Amino acid sequence: MVSIAINKGHQNIAMLGIGAYRPRRIVSNDEVCETLDSTDEWIYDRSGIRNRRWVSGDESLRSMAVAAGERAIKNSGVDRSKIGALILASSTWPDITPHGGPTVAHDLGINGIPAFDLVSGCGGFGYGLAVAADLLRSGSADYVLLIGAETMSFSLDPHDRGTAFIFGDGAGAVVIGPSQENGISPAVWGSDGENASAIGQNFNILEMMDRAESYQGKDPETDPVGRMLLRMEGPRVFRWAAVTLPRALASALDVAGVSKDDIEVFVPHQANARINELMKKNLGLADDIPMANDIENTGNTSAASIPLAIEEMLVTGKAKGGQLALLLAFGAGLSYAGQVAVLPPAPTEASF
């Protein structure tokens, strides 16, 4: 029997640089309420959101992903020729085929590397970080570019009280590579398909296939298949989050071998500022530990929310590069992924 070679990876790895892109158009609660039957006060009180950003003009998921990726590469100081894989975490890339990773890699001047999409709803960045870490530790790549990018605004029903005010567009990216000390813990991740229907589009893929069949021979111009609108049972997600996420956070500290007193920054997914405040309190993190609150002016940007939130904290000085952070991504699936990670340096090229 021949012996087949194995890769030798890097065990000590870290986020070496971060980059982000925020769409130019800022949409206030009042603007959302021109269509939605709600008020600025209700939205801020229940979700912590005042503004979100939606793409306009020539902005697209592709352009945002490339802009964030470009900044992450520059801010990391890593020569792009060393990047061995690209992961695009997104649930809103416009095509199922072709998927976005290879196009984004091409636009970034790193055509040819393994590049793929990772779909895990708002848990996408946490899942992407877990996969990127494993690629590095197994030796499949020396440096990985992880991009979370979403255009949530395309699938919003402006009349839906459960979603219209929550979601925003944007992109955030990190370059992950070898480091002297380890800066990324093993992931604590999981899913709950029993509650899958709590967040989803208003028709599923099987219905789409049925429709595709029934549209055979018809003119798509006169018989459009229609948009896929996002629906969410907010209170059901809230209840799931209240039970599942505190356990995930405690396990993340446990597998990282650190105590809650070691945590200097808390960066939960930006789904709802009230959920995050509750989680911080229940975990027993000290009041003065800075917690990401990018949702206030960026909304919930799904797989982009964690890198956008980290970037905001680093640029405004609420957090500093090198600090120990507790990260938690969660959302559709339902799914979640948490890690303890050292924050990358503040970006020299920022998104605002």
Q: Which residues are catalytic?
A: 122, 269, 300
Residue from 161, 211, 227, 281 that binds ligand COA (CB under 6 A)? 161
d(CA 309, CA 305): 6
Considering only the stretches 21-29, 54-62, 142-150, 230-238, report the one whose residues sit in contact with ligand COA under the rule CB under 6 A: 230-238
* Dihedrals phi, psi of 38, to nearest 5 degrees: -160, -175
Least CB distance from residue 182 to ligand COA, whole Å?
29
Total number of residues binding ligand COA (CB under 6 A)?
20
Residues 81-120, one symbol each (x = binds ligand COA by CB under 6 A, - = not), give ----------------------------------------
* Choice from 25, 46, 99, 320 touching ligand COA (CB under 6 A): 46
Pick 129 or 241: Cβ nearer ligand COA: 241
Comparing CA positions, the residue from 158, 114, 160 lying closest to residue 136 is: 114
Nearest-angstrom CA–CA distance, 19 and 69? 6
For residue 76, state whether it binds ligand COA (rule: CB under 6 A): no
* Angstrom distance (rounded) from CA 65 to CA 172: 7
Segment contacting ligand COA (CB under 6 A): 141-149, 150-158, 232-240, 256-264?
232-240
Span 289-318, contacts to ligand COA by CB under 6 A: 300
237 binds ligand COA (CB under 6 A): yes
Residue 47 touches ligand COA, criterion: CB under 6 A: yes
Candidate segments 72-80, 187-195, 235-243, 285-293, binder of ligand COA by CB under 6 A: 235-243
| Residue nearer to ligand COA on the CB measure, 39 or 81 | 39
Q: How far is the CB of 161 from ligand COA (least distance, A)?
A: 4
Residues at the site binding ligand COA, with contacts judged by CB under 6 A: 38, 42, 46-47, 122, 161-162, 165, 199, 232, 234-235, 237-238, 241, 271-272, 275, 300, 331
